[in-house]
Amino acid sequence: MQPKYRAIIVDDESLARKDLAAVIAEFEEIEIVGEAKNIQSAVQEIKNNDPDLIFLDIKMPGESGFDLVDSINEDTHTVFVTAFDEYAIRAFEVNALDYLLKPVTKDRLATTLEKIADEKIKIPEESKNLKYDDQVFLKLNNKYHFLKVNSILQITAEGDYSNIHTKNDEKSLASKSMKEWEDRLPENHFIRIHRSTIINTDEVQRIEPWYNNAHLVYLNGIEKPVVMSRRYFQKIKEELK
């Protein structure tokens, strides 16, 4: 069987990398193309190998797996692997595909691969390309609603779901991925500014420089600013040249 996914393992402990590699070896569809013991070497492995899948430890000496997120291509699936479960919520906030507790079992990894397959399901052509004045019919907080596209202020990742913040200051959970929203929303009104955030550009008040070349974006109707990552800021600058 030809491998479907090129994977990199990032973990500071060589034994942990070896144990995970042994479990991954049970799946013919995954090929391990690189390993890294810290963030710096992981960045290089990503550049050299362009992986489809990254198994990323969170807690490493003097650094965190979250520090690598902005260096990972949005089309690359990130799976956090850790011995600690207190990071689960933050993992999904950065739009990780999955969150695995050590030791990883074959059955649990199989579930992760199923999630990848689900993400690859194509959106029907007729359901794409929403217009700014359209209404979309979808399930919000377990009830069906008509949602005006132009009422959306921001959308943030929530695991396999997404949180929608609208102009009437309502927050709703929808069973749609960030990729689906990005594909469907009108690109002249909505942009992705982070792996876990899409905003309505019509509602931007101001943008201010922030830590490590990232920026803070202030939106009408939302008190707390949202972060525009360094990578997305550069991408937007290039597109607007």
Asked if residue 144 and residue 99 are part of one domain, the reply reads no
Domain containing residue 74: CATH number:
3.40.50.2300
How high is the pLDDT of residue 161? 85
Asked if residue 111 and residue 135 are part of one domain, the reply reads no
How high is the pLDDT of residue 213? 86
76: confidence class by pLDDT, cuts 50, 70, 90:
confident
How high is the pLDDT of residue 122? 43
Structural domains in the chain (count): 2
Quick check: bond before 61 cis, omega within 30? no
Q: Do residues 88 and 65 lie in contact, with contact meaning Cβ atoms separated by under 8 Å?
A: no
Beta strands in the chain (DSSP E): 5-10, 30-36, 53-57, 59-60, 63-64, 77-82, 98-101, 135-140, 143-148, 152-158, 161-166, 171-174, 190-194, 197-200, 204-209, 215-219, 226-228
- Among 73, 92, 119, the domain boundary falls at 119
Asked if residue 132 and residue 229 are part of one domain, the reply reads yes
Place of tokens 């803070």: 216
Asked if residue 235 and residue 142 are part of one domain, the reply reads yes
Asked if residue 235 and residue 133 are part of one domain, the reply reads yes
- Which pLDDT tens digit goes with each residue over 182-209? 988 999 999 999 989 999 999 999 999 9
How high is the pLDDT of residue 10? 96
Higher pLDDT, 71 or 223: 223
Q: For the chain, how are helix, strand and coil distributed in percent, rounded to 5?
A: 30, 35, 35
Q: What is the pLDDT averaged over residues 117-125?
A: 54
Q: Three-state DSSP class for 35?
A: strand
- Which pLDDT tens digit goes with each residue over 137-147? 777 887 777 88
Asked if residue 193 and residue 178 are part of one domain, the reply reads yes
Asked if residue 175 and residue 147 are part of one domain, the reply reads yes
Segments forming the whole domain that contains residue 229: 125-239
What's the mean per-residue pLDDT of the chain? Answer: 87
Higher pLDDT, 168 or 154: 154
Asked if residue 107 and residue 60 are part of one domain, the reply reads yes
Q: What is the pLDDT averaged over residues 63-82?
A: 85
Higher pLDDT, 103 or 128: 103
Question: In the chain, what percentage of residues exceed pLDDT 70?
Answer: 89
How high is the pLDDT of residue 123? 41
